[in-house]
Structure formats: C-alpha cells, structure tokens
Amino acid sequence: MAKIIVEDREDNTRVPFLRGILIHSLQDTGLSFDAAYELATEIRSSLGDTLLISTDELRMKVLDLLKDRMGQDAATRYEKQKKTLAILVEQRDEQVTPFSRLEYQHCLETIGLSAEEAMDIVATVYKHLVDRRIERLTSRRLGELTYRYLRQSRDLGPAVAHRWLVWRDFVNSGRPLIFLIGGTAGCGKSTVATMLANRLDIVRSQSTDMLREVMRIMMPRQLMPALHTSSFAAWKALPGNPEAIKEVSDTLLVNGYRSQADLLTVAIEAVIQRALRERVSLIIEGVHIHPAFVEKLEKNDDAIVMPVMLGLLKRKQLQRRIRGRGTDAPQRRADRYLEHFDEIWRLQSYLLSEADHANIPIVINTDKDKVFREIMRITIQTLAKDFDSTPQAVFA
C-alpha cells in the first residue's frame, strides 16, 4: 500500500499518515480501542492509492465516517479536538502539571488493568473533561472521576474500582513498599524486579547475588566456603567432604542452599532496615529470598512488605530461560547452569513448596505483563486488609 502524506497547509508541513495516531485521537472522543481501530483501518482503506491529502480533507473524512457509524455526538466531540484543550492538574503539593493520558494509562495499569482496559478508561475520563471544557482540576477530582467510570464500566465494575481506591490511598500515604522477589536460577527474578522498579518508580533495587559478591570479597573461601559456590552447589562446601558423593540427595541440596542463604540474612536485613529508616520503597530479588527468612522479618506497621516467589512449572520452559540468559548475557555462563539443571529444578520445587506452606504468593512467570498484573493484584489485596477509607478521603 502506497505511503500517504498528510499536508497541513496552514503550517506548511507534511507528515506521514499514521493509523496509530488516528486511533488515539478517536479514543479521545470516547471510543473503545476496538472501535477506534476499526474506524482508523476503514479510513486508511478508503484513501486507496491517494498519495497526498490535506489535514482538512482527512478531518472531513473522519467526521463523515464517525457521524455515519457512531452518530452526531461522536462527530461533534472529534470536531472539538481541533482546538486543543490544555488540561492542568493541581497536585497535593499545589504543583500544577499537564494532564498526560499516557502517564494516567500507566497509573491505571498499576492496579492490574490491561493496556487496552486502561486506555478505554483514560479515553472516557478525557472525553468527560473535553466535553465540559475543563481546563484545570485537582488530582483529587481526577481520582474521583476515574473511580466513577471504573465502577460504571461493564467489563470492570466495583471490584476494580475498589482496587483503585486502595492503591490511591496507599500512594497518598507515603508508606514504603518492600518487594522481596524469590525464585531459582532462570525464573526471571531480575527481569520482574526491573519491570516493577520502572513501572512503580522505585529507585532502589538490590540483588542478593550482588550482596553475596560483596561478602565474598570480605570473607575468604577458607573462612566461609559456602559463600564461594552457586546456590545449587553449596552442598559441596558442607562439612564432611560431601563432594565425593556422585548423586546429591534432596536433603543435602537443601542443606547446602540453606547454609548459603543463612549467611546472607544479615546483609539482606541491613538493606531492608536502611530503606525502612529512610521510608523509601525497595526491591530485593534473588534465590536467597527464602520463606523462613521472610517469616522471621521484624514487623513494621509503617511499611508494606510483599514477598513473591516466582517459578516455572515446566522443565523445558526453565531450560529455555536459562539458555536465554547465556544469549543475553554470556558472562552468566548458561552452560554451567544447564549442566546442573536437575539440581536447579529440585531446588525450585523446594522453594515453591516452602512458599506454599508459608502462604507466600507464588506467581508463574510465563508472561511479563501478566506477571506484573498478578503481583499488583496480590499487593493491592494485601493493602486492602487494613483499608477503611472512603472515596472522598483517598483521592489526591
């Protein structure tokens, strides 16, 4: 299909016709993603072999199609967009920022909505503001509008609206959120931790492998041999020269892992305590996040501590992930991990079993977006246990 150029004769500029931009523009009138996609595709097809079209001509085509398919109200809303409405949001600290649909979409995704669901709600809220020519509002009012439209949504409804209340209440509280992401080698701990940090704007993140590296420098092999091995091979450093054993038992494998994990407990606790003193959120990920360690953590009423155990339930999936580690980062030596895959798989079984026994959430990491939504749903369920505010009290 030929490339179509859109010419703005007032500004004397030319840009390519982009269906994605038209889809967003149509969503801003209140259309769902599917409806906007269908209309934008029909517009593109109707242009045929056209190589050049003016912005006014393109706008008339869109208006005619909108009026035909969606009625006069939709066409009127689209026509109003010609005069861009600059919407300003007054935050709790009295700072004023432009309303960003993309940022607000990401905010809605935080409560477990898919990108499409979040885009639909943002489009509905934006339509409300545009129709009423609201150029300035408080973040509290914006939150109330979002709650209303979430609650009224046929596909989302009161349960999702309640998640929004709970999350906004937590965000406004300023309390620190501590994620403890556990799991065996190759299950995606680092990837999930990075994703959480990016989406939740958490600037502090630490891996237990890095803490182990620091401790290795401070503690020579002769003093603490268990530190200087991999978690799945720590059994070889146990007293009694177990290296001579050809096939490691589950008991020996677990004892070796626990001996190494216990050595890291002090370092992990120190990082957590520092974050708590400074009231900042933190993500710690690593194989050394053991359920017994989580249970022994000192309770802190101010912080929310969220342990999560990641896993994969199919051997081939975990093997592919480990091979991928070698492709993405050769220094991680995938071959060595694959040579000890049986021990890694058995160690995962132990960690998942212990997490289940300790009532620590287990998340199967097959899709990163689904994992994010699941972790956030679990987090909000935890927050909801002591949530007793009203909609009027939490928005800000």
Residue pair 99/130 in contact (Cβ under 8 Å)? The answer is no
292 and 354 inside one domain: yes
The total of structural domains in the chain comes to: 3
Q: Any idea what the Cα angle at residue 105 is, between residues 86 and 283, rounded to 5°?
A: 125
Task: Please report, in tens digits, the pLDDT of each residue of the chain (396 residues total).
Answer: 567 888 877 656 677 887 877 887 788 778 888 888 888 888 888 888 778 888 888 888 888 888 888 888 888 878 776 555 678 888 887 888 888 888 888 889 999 888 888 888 988 898 888 888 888 889 889 999 999 999 999 889 999 999 999 998 898 888 899 999 999 998 999 999 999 999 898 999 999 999 999 988 888 887 887 888 888 888 888 887 666 677 788 899 899 999 999 999 999 999 999 999 999 999 999 999 998 888 888 777 788 899 999 999 898 888 888 887 655 555 456 777 888 888 999 999 999 999 999 999 999 998 888 899 999 999 999 898 877 544 445 554
Question: What distance in Å separates the CA atoms of residue 89 and residue 133, rounded to the nearest whole number?
Answer: 14
User: Rounded to whole angstroms, what are the CA distances from 137 to 90, 132, 350?
Assistant: 6, 12, 52
Residue pair 222/382 in contact (Cβ under 8 Å)? The answer is no
Question: What distance in Å separates the CA atoms of residue 151 and residue 134, rounded to the nearest whole number?
Answer: 22
100 and 206 inside one domain: no
Structural domain contains residue 198: yes
Helix (H/G/I), strand (E/B), else coil: 335: helix
Final residue of a structural domain among 173, 198, 215: 173
For residue 226, give the DSSP letter: G
Structural domain contains residue 378: no
273 and 356 inside one domain: yes
156 and 198 inside one domain: no
182 and 288 inside one domain: yes
Domain residues for the domain of 281 are 177-365
Task: Enter the pTM of the model.
Answer: 0.74
141 and 248 inside one domain: no
241 and 311 inside one domain: yes
CATH number at 198 reads 3.40.50.300
Question: What distance in Å separates the CA atoms of residue 147 and residue 139, rounded to the nearest whole number?
Answer: 12
128 and 201 inside one domain: no
